[in-house]
Amino acid sequence: MLTTKARDVVRCCRLLANYSEEPGFTTRTFLSPPMRNVHAHLTPWMEASGMTVGVDHAGNLRGVYAASSPAAPRLFIGSHLDTVTHAGAFDGVIGVVLAVALIDLLGGQRLPFTIEVVGFSEEEGVRFGVPFIGSRALTGSLDEDLLGRRDAEGRSVADAIHDYGLDPSCVGQARANGDALGYVEFHIEQGPVLDNLGLPLGIVDAIVGQSRLAVAFSGAANHAGTTPMNARRDALAGAAEWIGAVEGLARDTPGLVGTVGQIRALPGAVNVIPGICETGLDVRHADDAVRSAAVASLVERARAIASRRGLDVQWDVRLEQPSTAMSPPLIAMLERAVAHSGFPVHHMSSGAGHDAMIMAGRMPAAMLFVRSPGGLSHHPDETVVEDDVAAALGAGRQFLEEVARSGRWPT
């Protein structure tokens, strides 16, 4: 049964990967048209498994599997349905599909708690530069500032919600009620640890903190052939020097990772000195103090480079997310579930951000990782092993059974 269901999960994820903004690649940003196809594909399966399904005003797909008692508390299980540019088929999506499969495995059995499956509308931050729009709505932290943020086409988050046929003035209705037991997220590891250890599953103890900044150097555009080297104010050259400093600091600081994953030079002609260079900085560390010190150092280095080169530099903090510990009681329950399923118990931290970071501010949260072969993620070749997915389903079923047997939620 688990093997067959695992095969269904993998097949569904690969099918959903075809719903994309780019032919030949999987790119699905916040409330883009392909998201409607994903909702339409998952909804009939969710309804057939016994859920009542709808889309909230932040674009989250939500399926409610009612408890045996109307007054029962609620367990949330979910992940995100959006992707990065040129993504793989499993990051985020497998957590939603696996949750639906878990409900399917119940075969109509009602538990003493309601289960709500959530397919978050946005986690990656690709379209608007700020992640976790969907989970922020569910936790009640999607504010007017974020609703006003604009994409490259000048459309705001509120516009995107409206364009999808939803009402941005009603996003407050997406907030979870006070009857929440907690949140559990299944996710591929997105790294090589489990694969190197030969393990199918990993229990997440904590998610590292992260900072995201937009950093822009500005100088003066001019003719590439007639402007002497000592008279140039080349914004791209300044940014390039700073990017090297980012890499150097990250290499020299244990546990720190620093990435400049976006760069845009303007006016963007081969024979014109770039007058503007826009970049994006991502810094992560398990210790918030180390991360904050690194960001301050990199901002100061940007200032110094700009000053020496006759440039201006501006930065905008897009995200300051502290490191987040997962709930110890939920971790203990996952330990028992994994062990009862016959697999080794392995604890680890997550270097990637997840909706669980946001949900943990509202309710107890936990995560179970599924091995990423080769540690590959955010890449079209990202994959999973069906036996590992079956292991996750088995552990998830044991987890639900333990909660049902206990008749209470540990605190």
Among the listed residues 314, 296, 295, 316, the one whose alpha carbon sits nearest the alpha carbon of residue 219: 314
Residue 175, pLDDT score: 97
Asked if pLDDT for residue 20 goes beyond 70, the answer is yes
Residue 333, pLDDT score: 95
More confidently predicted of 182 and 406: 182
Q: Residues 162, 49: one domain?
A: yes
CA 116 to CA 182: how far, in whole Å?
Answer: 10
Residue 1, pLDDT score: 85
Q: How far is CA 357 from CA 129, 175, 342, 345, 352, in A?
A: 17, 16, 28, 22, 10
User: pLDDT of 298-321, one tens digit each?
Assistant: 999 999 999 999 999 999 999 898
Q: Residues 126, 141: one domain?
A: yes
CATH number of the domain that residue 312 is part of: 3.30.70.360
Asked if pLDDT for residue 369 goes beyond 70, the answer is yes
Q: Residues 339, 313: one domain?
A: no
Residue 329, pLDDT score: 93
Asked if pLDDT for residue 260 goes beyond 80, the answer is yes
Q: Residues 12, 131: one domain?
A: yes
Q: Residues 27, 39: one domain?
A: yes
Crossing angle between the packed helical segments 33-48 and 93-105, to the nearest 10 degrees:
10
Asked if pLDDT for residue 270 goes beyond 80, the answer is yes
Q: Residues 315, 328: one domain?
A: no
User: Does a structural domain hold residue 57?
Assistant: yes
Q: Residues 46, 152: one domain?
A: yes
Under a CB-based contact definition with an 8 Å cutoff, are residues 278 and 264 in contact? yes
User: Does a structural domain hold residue 84?
Assistant: yes
Residue 405, pLDDT score: 81
Over residues 252-275, the mean pLDDT reads 96
Reported as a pLDDT band with limits 50, 70 and 90, residue 130 is confident
Under a CB-based contact definition with an 8 Å cutoff, are residues 65 and 114 in contact? yes
Q: Residues 110, 163: one domain?
A: yes
Q: Residues 92, 213: one domain?
A: no
Q: Residues 105, 245: one domain?
A: no
Q: Residues 295, 186: one domain?
A: no
Asked if pLDDT for residue 411 goes beyond 50, the answer is no
- Of 320, 348, 374, at which residue does a domain stop? 320
Return the minimum-mean-pLDDT range out of 57-61, 102-106, 361-365, 406-410: 406-410
Secondary structure of the chain in HEC code, one letter for each residue: CHHHHHHHHHHHHHHHCCCCCCCCCECCCCCCHHHHHHHHHHHHHHHHCCCEEEECCCCCEEEEECCCCCCCCEEEEEEECCCCCCECCCCCHHHHHHHHHHHHHCCCCCCCCEEEEEEECCCCCCCCCCCCHHHHHHHCCCCHHHHCCECCCCCEHHHHHHHCCCCHHHHHHHCCCCCEEEEEEEEECCCCHHHHHCCCEEEEEEECEEEEEEEEEECCCEECCCCCHHHCCCHHHHHHHHHHHHHHHHHHCCCCEEEEEEEEEECCCCCEECCEEEEEEEEEECCHHHHHHHHHHHHHHHHHHHHHHCCEEEEEEEEEECCEECCHHHHHHHHHHHHHCCCCCCEEEECCCCHHHHHCCCCCEEEEEECCHHHCCCCCCCCCCHHHHHHHHHHHHHHHHHHHHHCCCCC
Asked if pLDDT for residue 343 goes beyond 50, the answer is yes
Over residues 128-144, the mean pLDDT reads 95
- Of 269, 285, 320, at which residue does a domain stop? 320
Residue 321, pLDDT score: 87
Among the listed residues 193, 189, 220, 225, the one whose alpha carbon sits nearest the alpha carbon of residue 94: 189
Residue type, 78: G
Asked if pLDDT for residue 353 goes beyond 80, the answer is yes
For residue 156, list its beta bridge partners. 150
Rounded to the nearest 10°, the torsion over CA 9, 104, 343, 385 is -10
Asked if pLDDT for residue 271 goes beyond 50, the answer is yes
Domain that holds residue 194: 2-208+323-406
More confidently predicted of 407 and 256: 256
CATH number of the domain that residue 199 is part of: 3.40.630.10
User: Does a structural domain hold residue 141?
Assistant: yes
Count of domains forming the chain: 2
Q: How far is CA 56 from CA 28, 165, 197, in A?
A: 18, 11, 40
User: Does a structural domain hold residue 8?
Assistant: yes
Strands 312-321 and 209-218: antiparallel
Residue 70, pLDDT score: 86
Asked if pLDDT for residue 408 goes beyond 60, the answer is no
Over residues 268-297, the mean pLDDT reads 97
Over residues 165-176, the mean pLDDT reads 97
Reported as a pLDDT band with limits 50, 70 and 90, residue 403 is confident
Asked if pLDDT for residue 407 goes beyond 60, the answer is no
Residue 179, pLDDT score: 87
Q: Residues 392, 291: one domain?
A: no
Reported as a pLDDT band with limits 50, 70 and 90, residue 409 is low
User: Does a structural domain hold residue 186?
Assistant: yes
User: Does a structural domain hold residue 411?
Assistant: no
Reported as a pLDDT band with limits 50, 70 and 90, residue 406 is confident
User: Does a structural domain hold residue 108?
Assistant: yes
Full strand arrangement of the beta sheet holding 209-218: 257-266, 276-285, 209-218, 312-321
Residue 410, pLDDT score: 47
Over residues 129-150, the mean pLDDT reads 95
Give the gyration radius of the chain's Cα atoms. 23
CA 268 to CA 254: how far, in whole Å?
Answer: 36
CA 78 to CA 99: how far, in whole Å?
Answer: 6
- Of 320, 355, 374, at which residue does a domain stop? 320
